[in-house]
Structure 1
Amino acid sequence: MRLSPSLFYTTNCEPALAFYEQCGLGRATILLRWGDNNMPVRTETMRAKIMHARFEGPGVLFHASDNDDAEPMKGSAMMLEFDDLGRMRRPFTRMSEGGRVTVPLARQVWGTSFGMLVDAFGVQWMFSCSNE
């Protein structure tokens, strides 16, 4: 068994995935679009938007799609764990661009470096590094 989260966007899944790729998290390995190859289309607004995507990178796997009835992400976050603080700083900084940092990246009382942000697409991310 493996847990594979799925992120839902309203109509900006593709730019979000491109952003995550630019931040060094990996790349989309599957992109299926609403309306392509006789795929159903719920509304014309959704035509050519992402019906299903698989995003993969070293230690990263999640799915994503556009859904015009998607609700903003609440009550959960995507957690990225690192073995090297230097390797954690770059994606944290890049992913905060256009979003907002909710917990600045710093050494925490429990002994790890940790930070949180909400990216420009409304997804909450947590960053943690225990080996420094």
Structure 2
Amino acid sequence: MRLSPSLFFTTGCEPALAFYEQCGFGRGTILLRWGDNDMPVRTEAMRGKILHARFEGPGVLFHASDNDDAEPMKGSAMMLEFDDLAVMRELFARMAVGGRITVPLARQYWGTFFSMLVDAFGVQWMFSCSGE
């Protein structure tokens, strides 16, 4: 068994996935659109939006889609764990662009480096590194 979370956007899935790819932690490997190849369409406004996407990278797997009834992400976050602090700092800086840092990157009282942000698409991310 493997847990692979799914991110729901109202209509911003495609630009979010492009941003995550630009940040360098993976790429979309499956991209199905509402209305293409006889795919269903819930509403005409959703036609061409992302019905199902799979995003993969080293140690990363999640799914994403556009759903016009999606609610903002609350009560959960996507956690990225690192062994290399420099790599974490670089990705954190790239993903913070256009977003909001909620916990600045610093060594925490429990001993690891940790930070949190809400990206430009409303997704909450946590970064943790036990290495230097």
- Measured on the aligned residues, the alpha-carbon RMSD in Å equals 0.4
Q: Does residue 119 of structure 2 align to residue 124 of structure 1?
A: no
The alpha carbon displacement at 1:13 in A equals 0.1
Runs in 1 of length 4+ with deviation above 3 angstroms? none
One-letter identity of the residue aligned with 1:16? A
* Corresponding residue number in structure 2 for 1:96: 96
Name the SS for the 1:56 alignment partner.
strand
Amino acid at match of 2:101: V
Matched residue SS, 2:131: coil
How far, CA to CA, are the matches of 1:12 and 1:47 in structure 2?
13
Within 5 Å, give how 1:69-108 maps onto structure 2.
Answer: 69-108=69-108
Partner of 1:25: 25
Give, in whole Å, the separation in 2 of the partners of 1:27 and 1:113.
26
TM-score by length of 2: 0.99
Residues 10-49 of structure 1: pairs in structure 2 closer than 5 A: 10-49=10-49
- Aligned equivalents of 1:3, 1:36: Cα separation in 2: 28
Q: CA deviation at 1:101?
A: 0.1
Task: Say yes or no: does 1:60 pair with 2:68.
Answer: no
Aligned twin of 1:9: 9
Identity %: 85
Counterpart residue identity of residue 89, structure 1: R
Distance in structure 1 (CA, Å) of the matches to 2:70 and 2:102: 23
- Structure 2: which 5+ runs fail to align? none
Following the alignment from structure 2 to structure 1, what is the Cα–Cα distance between the partners of residues 67 and 91?
Answer: 27
Aligned-partner residue type, residue 11 of structure 2: T
How far did 1:25 drift? 1.2
Alpha-carbon separation, structure 2, partners of 1:112 and 1:22: 27
